[in-house]
Amino acid sequence: MSEPKVILRRCETADPARIRAIIAECFEELQFQPRGRTLIKPNVVTANRQYIHHSHTHPAVTEALAHHLKTRPEVSQITIGESSGFGIPPGLFMHEAGYDALARRLKVRLVDFNEDRATWVDLKKAVAQKGFHVPRSILEADTKIWVPKLKYHICCELTNALKLNIGILQHRDRMAVHDNRLNDKIVDMLEIGYPDCVVTDAIHIGHGFESAPQGFHLGLLLVSNNPLAADAVAGSALGYKPEEIVHLRIARDRGYGSIDLNDIRITGDYPLDEIISKTKGLTSEYQDILAVDTPIKFYCGDAPEHEPENAPSPNCSPSVRRESDSENFCYGGCLAAVKGCLGTIDKRRPGSVARARPGAVVTGIYKGDVIHPGQTAFLIGDCSRVDGRLEAKRVIRLTGCPIGASKLLIKMPSVFKMPSPMSDARSAVQFIYFTLRHALRKLVLKIIPG
Ligand code: SF4
């Protein structure tokens, strides 16, 4: 295996010509030679032309990479593949982010992994997600290039190369063990989703809820031959010590490589110290829900005990403790969905969460009292309960493990009197169109032998 190397390059704007030149230089420096069927995996978790602009890899970065690959005779086929956010019909976010228009223009394959044929694969080293339906475009790729968007994350510190692998899961497998085992799940995915190269779009990074973030101009492209090295440096750029990023620690402990910056060769024209000084003081709202400006009070509890063979690894809990000190704290399930719901509502209509109707939200098994006379207590998730006194005018339950984001986006605004993103007429029409399109495509896959 070649020496882990991370190249940090200045890139002020999303100019495809400039990005293409940087990519060509970086590939040469890394001596990286893509060949055969080459899969580009961007992050297109969400997009909305009206109010979500920094959640996804800028199409200009993907375009520049595809253009570069087209100049290489060893590359026989270029595919752009992604499984966008759960609960929304496949294709909708790719359309909103401009990826379908991009693929048509470049004449490259664009695949939503949910509409790809897939083969079940058992993962040999997995701790949490013991297998999944692997899309054919991933299984058959000779070269994998991951093109993440660098963002702070509400419960996993950052999302970059490793976290990008949640987007290789078809929706039917997406939410399995997406609870207090999320950090383990991310590392499990590396067995299939180990990229040959990483090209990170950090021209604008995201902070706040990562699927509806605020943008912050950093002017950086990060290119690496190693996903752990890429994430260790990207995490440092955001102000973390690599050790504080739980999924990196787990990946290191499972033998995927070092996350020590001394073991990584860092080059380029944008010094890491300068990058760190730019992000210094930047906070990412919703990493700590107790700090959110709102009259809603949050009671964040544990997941139920798992059987030993399904339990999270001991170092799976977040190291940067926020809402709970418990080892079994369920950071990655219903609580993450609540954060996402509020973050989306607030991004669409700023100030809505601060003006919400007062009440209580309980996720997981909360040990303590929840006293809200005259208000509503909203218990979210299959396991949600209060091990203590529960007093409220009204108690509402919503089930799921974890709760579905779209289910929550329908109910939560009505309980706490906030404007609902689900009421956008444009989004509703798109939702119906892409649901029908997906059903048709699934039908075609079923009747035409693969
Ligand atoms: S129901 Fe929600 S809080 Fe409970 S274990 Fe599942 S994801 Fe976690």
Helices (H) and strands (E) in the chain, counts: 13, 16
Structure tokens at 119: 């083969």
DSSP summary character for residue 163: G
Instruction: Specify if 354 maps to a domain.
Output: yes
For helices 99-106 and 59-70, give the axis angle rounded to 10 degrees.
20
pLDDT above 90 (res 373): yes
What is the position in ligand 1's atom list of the atom closest to the CA of 382? 1
DSSP summary character for residue 113: G
Q: How many CA atoms lie within 13 A of 307 on its CB side?
A: 3
Q: Which of 335, 382, 399 to mutate to test the pocket of ligand 1 (most atoms within 8 A of CB)?
A: 382
Looking at the fold, whether 24 and 135 belong to one and the same domain comes out as yes
pLDDT above 70 (res 450): yes
For helices 227-237 and 272-279, give the axis angle rounded to 10 degrees.
50
> How far does residue 384's CA lie from ligand 1's centre (Å)?
7
- Residue 379 pLDDT level (bands cut at 50, 70, 90): very high
Q: Region 328-356: what's the mean pLDDT?
A: 96
State the total domains in the chain: 2
pLDDT above 70 (res 320): no
Closest CA to 4 of 298, 315, 252: 252
pLDDT, one tens digit per residue, over 12-59 is 999 999 999 999 999 999 999 999 999 999 999 999 999 999 999 999
What is the position in ligand 1's atom list of the atom closest to the CA of 364? 3
- Residue 383, ligand 1, Cβ within 6 A: yes
The answer to whether 349 and 421 are in contact (CB under 8 A) is: no
Calpha distance 376→119 (Å, rounded):
45
Looking at the fold, whether 251 and 378 belong to one and the same domain comes out as no
Q: Region 240-264: what's the mean pLDDT?
A: 97
b/e 216-243 (16+ beta carbons within 10 angstroms → b): bebbbbbbbbbbbbbbbbbbbbbbbebe
* Phi, psi of 101, rounded to the nearest 5 degrees: -65, -40
pLDDT of residue 289: 96
Looking at the fold, whether 101 and 46 belong to one and the same domain comes out as yes
Looking at the fold, whether 231 and 316 belong to one and the same domain comes out as no
Looking at the fold, whether 65 and 126 belong to one and the same domain comes out as yes
pLDDT, one tens digit per residue, over 56-91 is 999 999 999 999 999 999 999 999 999 999 989 999
- Residue 402, ligand 1, Cβ within 6 A: yes
Domain final residue pick, 225, 254, 279: 279
Calpha distance 217→150 (Å, rounded):
11
Domain range holding 401?
A: 289-419
Looking at the fold, whether 273 and 345 belong to one and the same domain comes out as no
| Degrees, nearest 5: CA angle 250-224-141 | 85
CATH code of residue 124:
3.40.50.11440
Looking at the fold, whether 297 and 260 belong to one and the same domain comes out as no
Looking at the fold, whether 212 and 308 belong to one and the same domain comes out as no
- Residue 303, ligand 1, Cβ within 6 A: yes
> How far does residue 334's CA lie from ligand 1's centre (Å)?
6
Atom 6 of ligand 1, nearest CA residue:
401
Task: Report CA Rg, the chain.
Answer: 21
pLDDT above 70 (res 1): no
Instruction: Specify if 284 maps to a domain.
Output: no
pLDDT of residue 371: 98
